[in-house]
Structure 1
Amino acid sequence: MKTLRLTSADIKIQYKYGFYLLYSFFTLFYVFILNIMPASWQKTTAVIMIYSDPAAMGLFFMGAIVLLEKSQMILNSLAVSPIKISQYINAKVLSLGLIGTIVGVIIALSAQSNNIITVIIAVFLSSVVFSLIGLIVAFKASSLNQFVIATVPFELILTAPPVITLFGYDNPWLILLPGVAAIKLLSGSYTNPFLLILIQLFWITVSYFICIKVVKKTFRQLGGCKV
């Protein structure tokens, strides 16, 4: 129940600071672009849009949220509260994953996608990966500039391989990357969707445990810690 309450609180904060307004603007813009472009381009363009914004924006928004919490000393209060670290992380991930998935589905429907279920799975799992990485980097960073610089390697690893895969480059080893697995799910270019889902779940597990360790260390420094 605490996780749900924290998720609800995070959603309210995101709404208050205009995250939902920004998501709405980008959604309308993307839908407009898809509707005016040739039908033959819509599928590929929609996949890029879905992966680059609803899924990947979790990284940047997560950084903004955590840095805001740092500046307002919210983390200091959370560190000595009964809230567990896992509940804090889960709430952050769920709140951004929910809105990202909704936006991704809207874009997919605009492109007349016929694999909405896999779109939902791919967007949510990708959002979780990006959000966890965003949390890790944000807790390590002391300023917005430091956060932006620190995310560059992750952006390259998570976006470059999926894009080149989408445009025809196919190295079997690249499928082990979470972004490539997500792109294949979004585009429908797969023979075994369960393998792609397992790959994403593996990276979520790895990222989650690293995130727990990083957040735990910060909370201990602030005066409290509950896993």
Structure 2
Amino acid sequence: MRLTALLRADLKFLVRYGFLALYALFCLLYLLILAACPAGLRETVCTFLVFTDPAAMGLFFMGALLLLEKSQRVLPALAVSPAPAWAYVCSKALAFALAGTLVGAVLSVFSPAEVLAPRLLTLLTGGFFFSLLGMTAGLHSGSLNRFILLSTALEVLFCLPGLLGLLGMLPGWLSWHPGALIAAGLRGNPAAPLLLLPWVAAAFALTARTAGRRLTDMGGVRL
């Protein structure tokens, strides 16, 4: 119940502060780009767009959300609430993952029907993973500039192998990299979302631990 309440509040937060409105505009722009592409290139361009934006939405914008919450003194309220740290982390990551999956589903009207199911599952699991990365960076950042530096490093580390995979240039020893798995899932590999789950579990454990420390160490003392 606490997770449901937190998720509902986070989705309202994304609507209230314009995150979803911004992505509605992005989605419209991407649809126009795809409509203007030659028919033979639409699927490839669609996959690149989905990988570089909706799938990684949380990595790009999680820092802004966390810094906004800090300015509104949300974390001290959470520190004394009965909501556990894992529910706070799960709610944030799931909210961005659901939003990214929705945008990716709209863009995927240009994809063949047989790749839609693995693509949407990959968007959900991959979006959750990238959101956890963004949250970890945000929890370690006291300013927007620091978050940009940390998130940029994470983008290079986790997105570059995926882009190489989409281009067919990925070395075989990198096939288990989470970015490569997300790229494979977006291209229709049904096993990719399942293979990505251990990475999601590891990222979730790390992020929940970091969030727990932040919540219990509020004010410089251990609650």
How high is the TM-score relative to the length of structure 1?
A: 0.93
- 1:1-227 alignment to 2 at 5 Å? 1-188=1-188, 190=189, 193-194=190-191, 196-222=192-218
Whichever residue aligns with residue 200 of structure 1, its letter is: L
Q: Secondary structure of 1:82's partner? A: coil
The gaps in structure 1 that reach 5 residues or longer are: none
Are 1:216 and 1:225, in contact at CA under 8 Å, matched by a contact in 2? no
Deviations 1:152-177 (A, max 9, x none): 22100221111122112132221111
Alpha-carbon distance in structure 1 between the residues aligned to 2:139 and 2:90: 15
Provide the secondary structure at the position in 1 that maps to 2:114: coil
Is contact 1:23-1:103 (8 Å) kept? yes
Q: 2:83 aligns to what SS in structure 1?
A: coil
Bigger mean CA deviation after superposition, 3-12 or 158-167: 158-167
Distance 2:55 2:130 in 1: 7
Conservation of the 8 A alpha-carbon contact between 2:101 and 2:120: yes
Q: Distance in 2 between matches of 1:151 and 1:30?
A: 23
- Partners of 2:148 and 2:76 in 1: how far apart? 23
CA distance in 1 between partners of 2:77 and 2:107 (Å): 38
For the Cα contact (< 8 Å) 1:80–1:225, is it kept in 2?
A: no
Cα distance in structure 1, aligned partners of 2:170 and 2:109: 27
Identity, % of aligned positions: 33
Letter in 2 for 1:182: I
Runs of 4+ in 1 over 4 A off after TM superposition: 223-226
Aligned partners of 1:85 and 1:73: how far apart in 2?
16
- Alpha-carbon distance in 1 for matches of 2:172, 2:222: 42
Cα contact 2:161–2:170 (8 A) shared by 1: no
Kindly tell me the number of residue pairs found equivalent between the two proteins: 222
In the alignment, is the contact (CA less than 8 A) between 1:54 and 1:127 conserved in 2? yes
The structural deviation recorded for 1:113 is 4.8
Q: What are the ranges of 5 or more consecutive residues in structure 2 without an aligned counterpart?
A: none
Computed over aligned residues only, the root mean square deviation of the Cα atoms, in angstroms, reads 1.7
Question: d(CA) in 1 for partners of 2:112 and 2:16?
Answer: 32
Structure-2 separation of matches of 1:176 and 1:56: 18
- The answer to whether the Cα contact below 8 Å between 1:104 and 1:123 also exists between their aligned partners in 2 is yes
Contact 2:161 2:179 in 1 (8 A): yes
